[in-house]
Structure 1
């Protein structure tokens, strides 16, 4: 798991997450790198409640595997 002092590139992390979400047919319209942050954060943005439910379902399904 990444921590605050982890050196993970936020742009690479954003693209890796976008790719995984795309494979799951889930779109986060506001997904992007938070360039205003000095911590190198990934901005997940806001999503429609139906998207949140689909994401929760996919996470639960993967957790049970």
Structure 2
């Protein structure tokens, strides 16, 4: 019986550190024979939060979410 692994990505930017780390970990699990299911929170309709757009870092918006 194969192990079932659930991967939850809460990082907002595809291809950056969190996403890359999770992809590599999931690949290792799959290579070992596990079944992997992945969820990206920022692709879910009901999930809201910082999307790491860095708009709040711009001088005109300093410290405020845009």
- Tell me if TM exceeds 0.5: no
Structure having the higher strand fraction is: 2
Structure having the higher helix fraction is: 1
TM-score (norm. length: structure 1): 0.33
Which structure is larger by alpha-carbon Rg, 1 or 2? 2
